[in-house]
Structure 1
Amino acid sequence: MKLDLASLDSVRSFCKAFLSAEPRLDILINNAAVLWFWHPMLIIGKFYFNKISSPAESISDTLQSYCDSKLCNILFARELANRLQGTGVTCYSVHPGTVHTSLGRNMPSWIKAFIIPFGWLFLRTSTDGAQTSIYCAIQEGIEMYSGRYFDNCQVREVQPQARDDAVAKKLWEASERMTGLAS
């Protein structure tokens, strides 16, 4: 089955095909990673080009967009957990760490010159980066932490704005309207 997350039509087609082929979904790991500082157009949230006139503003806006998108991920998981309470279905927001992948293949050469020699100091392998996602998917006894944020296979406390249930609900409702799924 083909899925392009940038296209709602593709998502709808995928869901329809999946639901007709499979009786249930046991584990879903949403992981759309981007390297924000050299490919800002991939970021969902505040758009990069709102202050294109200044390179400094563009970098600042891109960083803010990246941070906003991560905040939205945490809030979305929180609201989804609230909506699924009592169903036996759990969800978690997970930080895999900074993982060495092929996403950097198109980065500018000046960044590669810095990252390649020193990357081994701070970049995780794909296997290491997957551990917290796997932990949340299969670990028994963490159901009480549904909707919470995990890093290095542990629940971590997030900033107050990422714990705001009213904002999480508004984000959910806005997402429903934007996708045409509002009830």
Structure 2
Amino acid sequence: MIYQVRPTSPAMVTLLGIVAVIVAFYVLVYYGIFRGTRCSSPVKLMGKTAIVTGSNTGIGKATALELAKRGARVILACRNKTKAEAAVFEIRRESGNNQVLFMQLDLASFKSVRSFAGTILKTEPRLDILINNAGMGGPGYTEDGFGMAFGVNHLGPFLLTNLLLKKMQQCGPSRIVNVSALLHRLGDIDFAVLASNKDLVTGQGLWHNFKAYCNSKLCNVLFTRELANKLECSRVTCYSLHPGIIYTELCRNLSPWQQFLMMPFAKLFFLDTEGGSQTTLYCALQEGIETLSGRFFSNCALQQMGYKGQDDALAKKLWEDTGRMLSGQTRPK
């Protein structure tokens, strides 16, 4: 039997060409821009203790899981007890490490931060890694009357870090990792607005919420920079980073119809939580980056920060004003 091969029609050739271009474009964009590099550090953490804030979900949970797999004692510092205890169970099961526990921490409350730090100082013999991962973007005010994004993303981690710093110095070499974002490039620090509003924005609308988030991420970068200056002669190093664009983190505050519209694009291009944890892990584990303390990382590599993030005078001013706003609350009771 002889089979006759029919010539491909011009329309089919055009269609196949379009499909090939689309596939090539996707591969180029995904692997060249969106898909992150993985942390390849072989470091083990037996005998080490790590704290990861906001680790009951998302990239914080993925970070805690990897630290647990490497043998660390991992403390999930979270606000939601139910979700955190479920995360502890899952991480213990997946890692085979029973040294994973939950401790209550609400970064929107100075009282909660002081209580958490006081417990750590009394009960934990060492602290080797502090990952300030928790963050939020949205309206509202903290228990102490500050703008929510500014309070949770900057004031809470600033206070927590300073309360735990002496123990980390005693246990060095140790590391502090602050999860920021590339959006810090769009941030501003207006100290007059901060003094009059207890926030870096003047309102609570959608645009103000976006700006508040960008401003708080700039605070993360500046805080890390000034902290590195203050720790220059110690065995503690610190880093800020952009974790990548994460689907779950980006879309969790959208309305249902907005999530529906975003989902196809997000599923194709955005990182999952494991991918989003890689630069955090790199900053926490990678050997040889100690001389880069205070710098900003993305995609497991050194990244140039925005020009405002390089301003040492601005970083020092923010540190001083933050200390005054906390009114001596850097001492645990």
Shorter-normalised TM-score: what interval?
Answer: 0.7 to 0.9
SS at match of 1:28: strand
Helix, strand or coil at the partner of 1:91: strand
The alpha-carbon deviation at position 102 of structure 1 amounts to 6.4
Q: Which has the larger radius of gyration?
A: 2
SS of 2:221 mapped into structure 1: helix
CA deviation map 1:55-112 (0-9, x unaligned): xxx3332222121111111000001111111101100001111113267445212211
Distance 1:9 1:51, change over 3 A: closer
Work out the CA distance in 2 between the residues paired with 1:102 and 1:76. 23
State the distance in 2 between where 1:105 and 1:130 align: 17
Q: Distance in 2 between matches of 1:66 and 1:106?
A: 13
Contact 2:246–2:270 (Cα < 8 Å) also in 1: yes
The answer to which structure has the higher strand fraction is 2
In structure 2, the CA distance between the partners of 1:122 and 1:3, relative to structure 1 (3 Å rule), is: same
User: Which of 126, 141, 155 is the aligned partner of 2:302?
Assistant: 155
Measure how far apart 1:26 and its partner are: 0.2
SS in 2 for 1:29: strand
| Match of residue 27 from structure 1 | 129
Amino acid at match of 2:131: I
- Please report how far the alpha carbon of residue 122 of structure 1 lies from its aligned counterpart in structure 2 after TM superposition: 2.7
Q: d(CA) in 2 for partners of 1:26 and 1:3?
A: 19
Query: One-letter code of the match for 1:113?
Result: F
Q: Which residue of 1 aligns with 2:108?
A: 6
Answer whether contact 2:226 2:312 (CA < 8 A) is retained. yes
* 1:172 aligned onto 2:311: no
2:197 matched to 1:43?
A: no
Partner of 2:211 in structure 1? 64
SS class of match (2:130): coil
Q: Matches of 1:51 and 1:19 in 2, distance apart? A: 38
State the TM-score, normalizing by the size of structure 2.
0.49
Alpha-carbon distance change, 182 to 164 in structure 1, aligned in 2, over 3 angstroms: farther
Check the 8 A contact 2:243/2:279 in 1, yes or no.
yes
Q: Does 1:119 align with 2:266?
A: yes
Deviation at 1:126, TM superposition (A): 0.7
Q: Distance in 2 between matches of 1:136 and 1:67?
A: 22
CA distance in 1, matches of 2:221, 2:269: 24
Give the equivalent residue in structure 1 for 2:242.
95
For structure 2, the residue ranges without an aligned partner over 5 or more in a row are 1-102, 141-147, 151-198
Shift of 1:182: 7.7
C-alpha distance in 2, partners of 1:106/1:93? 24
**Which residue is 2:233 aligned to?**
86
Structure 2 residue 278 is the aligned partner of structure 1 residue 131: yes
Greater RCO structure (CA 8 Å; 6+ sep): 1
Runs of 4+ in 1 over 2 A off after TM superposition: 39-42, 58-63, 100-107, 180-183
Tell me the distance in 2 between the aligned counterparts of 1:105 and 1:152.
23
The residue aligned with 2:28 is none
3-state SS of paired residue (1:167): helix
Question: What secondary structure does 1:101 align onto?
Answer: helix
Percentage of identical aligned residues? 49
67-76 or 98-107: bigger deviation: 98-107
Q: Is the 8 A contact 2:135 2:149 kept in 1?
A: no
Q: Is the 8 A contact 1:100 1:123 kept in 2?
A: yes
TM-score by length of 1: 0.86
Amino acid corresponding to residue 290 of structure 2 in structure 1:
E
Contact 1:173 1:182 in 2 (8 A): no
